[in-house]
Structure 1
Amino acid sequence: MKVNIRQYLASDLPLVLSSWEAATRLAHPFMTDEFIAQERINVAEVYMPNTNTWVAEIDNLVEGFIALMGNEVGAMFLQPYCHGKGIGKALMDKAQELHGDLDVEVFKDNSIGRSFYARYGFKQIEEKLHAPTGKQILRLTFTANADAPRMGQ
């Protein structure tokens, strides 16, 4: 399976939203349908136009994406059937190539995301309340170090 990481195009939006929603429902079972419906609108109308987004394309289909705001990973979502195949690592490697040190926030209850970020080398630096959901969020940081082995190496 060859993964092509490329810049997001407006025409990718339907597949980006599909990846976002499928992965959100899997990793965030505590989110209500109403919250997800509102966030889907926000992803399309607020986040995508204001981030530097890269997509993971497999067999000419967008199967996931990473949205960056400087060195902040605003979002990274993959179709669940793509988990564990190196696609998330390829997206994160692109972000790291562009920005070096990275930061991300992840829900404490999101064991899928937390496990991925830990394997990649992120470390927790803060925990705080996410008011809209009432859930805890962890702020993680990744410090680029050419000598440190990373996931898959």
Structure 2
Amino acid sequence: MEHFNPLIEKYTDGQKAQLLALWEKSVLATHHFLSNEDFLAIKKLLQDFDFATLNVYSLNHGTEMIGFVATSAVKVEMLFLSPSYFGKGLGKKLMEFAISTLNATEVDVNEQNQSAFRFYKNLGFEVFERTEKDDLGKGYPLLRMRLNTHVQ
């Protein structure tokens, strides 16, 4: 059996096609509540998005990107894994990196995405605010979560 030890590495613009493909696979596997119209609109936004404006790290297995995390200040803006790597502790590995290395203490979760909510809750995040709409003004309520540093 081949040795599996994916590495967290700084994202480069040359990885954008891989990142967008991974994002799409992950969202299609997890964001069933998203309308097709909204999915396509977000996909278009991301194609034009300059990821250099965020602090992005990819999780790579050889040359394959299998996950990524993006932060801005203390907030995790994006965390996505390739669906074939779900349930292997890699999301936790990326979040622990974001918390310890990138000083992340906040994350927003779509209220409809209960598995993501439970994931962050299990890592010590707690809801401090709920919004009726997401950051694009769409009807997807967000749960804004903050790391409870007293639990660790």
Higher relative contact order by CA 8 Å / sep ≥ 6: 1 or 2?
Answer: 1
Please state how far the C-alpha of 1:96 moved relative to its aligned partner.
Answer: 0.9
> Structure 1 residue 90 and structure 2 residue 71: aligned?
no
1:34–1:47 CA distance, 2 compared to 1 (3 A): farther
Amino acid at match of 2:132: L
Instruction: Spell out the pairing of 1:1-153 with structure 2 (5 A cutoff).
Output: 1-46=4-49, 48-130=51-133, 132-144=137-149, 148=152
Q: CA RMSD in A?
A: 1.8
The number of residue pairs the alignment matches comes to 147
Deviates most, 7-16 or 28-37: 28-37
Amino acid at match of 1:28: H
Render the CA deviation track for 1:55-108: whole Å, top value 9, x for unaligned. 010132101110110111001011111111111111111111224351111111
Measure the CA separation in 1 of the matches of 2:35 and 2:103: 35
Identity %: 24
Measure the CA separation in 2 of the matches of 1:37 and 1:101: 29
Gaps spanning 5+ residues in structure 1: where? 149-153
8 Å Cα contact 1:19-1:64 kept in structure 2: yes
Measure the CA separation in 1 of the matches of 2:5 and 2:131: 38
TM-score w.r.t. length of structure 2 = 0.87
Measure the CA separation in 2 of the matches of 1:43 and 1:103: 21
Please state how far the C-alpha of 1:143 moved relative to its aligned partner.
Answer: 3.7
Amino acid at match of 2:14: S
Tell me what 1:151 maps to.
none
